[in-house]
Amino acid sequence: MSTLENRPNTALLVVDVQNGVVDGAVGRDSVVANIGSLVERARRERVPVIWVQHSGEGLEPESDDWRIVPELIPSEPEPLVGKTYGDSFEDTTLETVLSGLGVGSLVVVGAETDACIRSTLHGALARGYDATLVGDAHTTGDKTEWGSPSPEQVIAHTNLYWKYQTAPGRTAGTVETKDVDFGAAS
């Protein structure tokens, strides 16, 4: 259980699944479909769904690239957290939102694997949250021209190393969409 007191709940954290972020990302359609199925399941099980939306260069607010992909539509009561840094907690309202919902465990999905997903996972664990990565529900674009491994390798490596992350009093891990158990994450 997380090290956060009186935080027994789990939330689904959907990070940066925006047109300009996932356009051309590896496995985009299957990742978005997996995220969609998790959003539907979370809603049925009354698990909070928290949306994170990045703004910055190339992602100007209200532009088409900035918008969340059309396959995923946040519901009116679901919190939407704006951010300008990789870590979804950094200089945002995310901690306040999660605290208000009594959330101590996060199930994390979205983009980009090698930037905002990694930053958010580490930010969550360092702040006392349990953080589970859904291995087939995150993606990234091709950055090989700048010396990065292929997107497939980036995703596989992130899934592997997050599977074995630990911290005192906190849990981490990687699961597939079909194996997500929002109750067990609590």
**Residue tagged active-site, from 116, 117, 154, 155:** 116
Residue 4, pLDDT score: 92
Can you tell me the mean pLDDT for 122-145? 97
Q: What is the pLDDT of residues 102-120, one digit of tens each?
A: 999 999 999 999 999 999 9
**Local confidence band at 183 (pLDDT 50, 70, 90 cut-offs):** confident
Residue 52, pLDDT score: 98
Can you tell me the mean pLDDT for 143-152? 96
**Local confidence band at 185 (pLDDT 50, 70, 90 cut-offs):** low
Residues 6+ apart with CB under 8 A from 128: 2, 3, 4, 104, 169, 170
CB crowding 30-51: b at 16 or more within 10 Å, else e: ebbbbbbebbebbeeeebbbbb
Catalytic site residue 178? no
- Whether residue 21 is predicted with pLDDT greater than 50 in this model: the reply is yes
Above pLDDT 70, what percent of the chain?
98
Which residue spans within the chain are E strands per DSSP?
Answer: 9-15, 49-54, 80-83, 103-111, 130-139, 166-167, 170-175
- Whether residue 184 is predicted with pLDDT greater than 70 in this model: the reply is no
Task: Quote the CATH superfamily of domain 9-185.
Answer: Isochorismatase-like (3.40.50.850)
Q: What is the pLDDT of residues 51-100, one digit of tens each?
A: 999 999 999 999 999 999 999 999 999 999 999 999 999 999 999 999 99
Can you tell me the mean pLDDT for 1-14? 93
Two tokens, residue 75: 């519901």
User: How far does CA 116 lie from the centroid of its chain?
Assistant: 8
H or E segment and range at residue 25: none
Domain ranges of the chain: 9-185
Residue 2, pLDDT score: 87
Neighbouring C-alpha atoms within 13 Å toward the C-beta of 104: 16
**Local confidence band at 35 (pLDDT 50, 70, 90 cut-offs):** very high
Above pLDDT 90, what percent of the chain?
96
Can you tell me the mean pLDDT for 116-142? 98
**Nearest in space to 87 (alpha carbons), one of 64, 106, 68:** 106
User: What's the CA gap between 36 and 99, in Å, rounded?
Assistant: 25
Residue 186, pLDDT score: 45
Mean pLDDT for the chain overall: 96
